[in-house]
Amino acid sequence: MKKLLAFIFSLCVLFELSAQKVQDFSSYFKEKDLEGGFFMYNYQKKEYVVSNKAEFLKVTSPASTFKILNSLIALETGAIKDENEVIKWDGQERSQSAWNADHDLKNAYKNSTVWFYQELARRIGEDKYRSYLKACNYGNQDISGGLTTFWLGSSMLISPKNQLEFLVKLHEEKLPFSKRTFDIIKKIMIREQTPEYLLRAKTGWSNFPPTDIGWFVGYIEAKSNTYFFVTRVYKPIDKKLPSFGAARVEITNNILKALHIP
């Protein structure tokens, strides 16, 4: 019986992978002198479009893309009251000038302010993280890298596929959070809003040797469909490329434009 179940499971996995539409987007990465992949989920068609099946399942640090879930957990547990509660800057000068100020959740999300989310992590604690990571089926759920660092090039790892699955659940509000928490997070995630579409997204950057890893994840709510996307880029950490941060977003925008989205 166990062998039969294992066989059925393997067939399901095989079908899931073979049902994906593979499309070559490598030229968009090459023109930025980067390696990486683009992955999309068409909500209406229930179809994945992936640049590489192996890359789709490859896990790396989520870096600041974890701020989406981190914000949900912080609000739900009361680690922070709402998006307007201010946490005072500790006066320590950090590498990003925008971080050197008092922050509320809105600004901390926008600026990817590491110290702010590390303070939230101390308030949340390991037990609550373990519970929510399991309930949300987020990544490998490994926080052994440290309470304030596990998502920063450390023990927490996630694949583009898992990122997309999480974003779909967020959109559908099928995660263990209140309507109030969903409403706040969806509001602070807004990056662009036009009469034609609404874009919610988050960038991430893990710059730990030997590789720089950049993310751009989110979803576009158009009039007739919703498109979920994940872009992940790589470069050797000793390779100087000032455009690396911007390239994540530019590659995504160029591919979406080529796909006529939105």
pLDDT in tens, the chain (262 residues): 444 344 444 434 434 544 689 999 999 999 999 999 999 999 999 999 999 999 999 999 999 999 999 999 999 999 999 999 999 999 999 999 999 999 999 999 999 999 999 999 999 999 999 999 999 999 999 999 999 999 999 999 999 999 999 999 999 999 999 999 999 999 999 999 999 999 999 999 999 899 999 999 999 999 999 999 999 999 999 999 999 999 999 999 999 999 999 8
Q: Which domain holds residue 154?
A: 59-158
Q: What is the rounded CA–CA span in Å between residue 172 and residue 229?
A: 15
Q: Looking at the domain assignment, is residue 134 inside a domain?
A: yes
Contact assessment for residue 180 and residue 208, using Cβ atoms and an 8 Å cutoff: no
Q: Which tens digits make up the pLDDT trace of 224-257?
A: 999 999 999 999 999 999 999 999 999 999 999 9
Q: Looking at the domain assignment, is residue 148 inside a domain?
A: yes
Q: Looking at the domain assignment, is residue 182 inside a domain?
A: no
Q: Looking at the domain assignment, is residue 257 inside a domain?
A: no
Q: What is the rounded CA–CA span in Å between residue 52 and residue 22?
A: 7
Domain with residue 92: its CATH number is 3.40.710.10
* Angle formed by the axes of helices 126-135 and 114-124, nearest 10°: 100
Q: Looking at the domain assignment, is residue 75 inside a domain?
A: yes
Report pTM: 0.92
Domain count along the chain: 1
Q: Which residue has the tokens 């790589």?
A: 234
Residue 27 annotated among the catalytic residues of the structure: no
Q: What is the rounded CA–CA span in Å between residue 12 and residue 234?
A: 31
DSSP 157: -
* Catalytic pick among 61, 64, 159, 206: 64
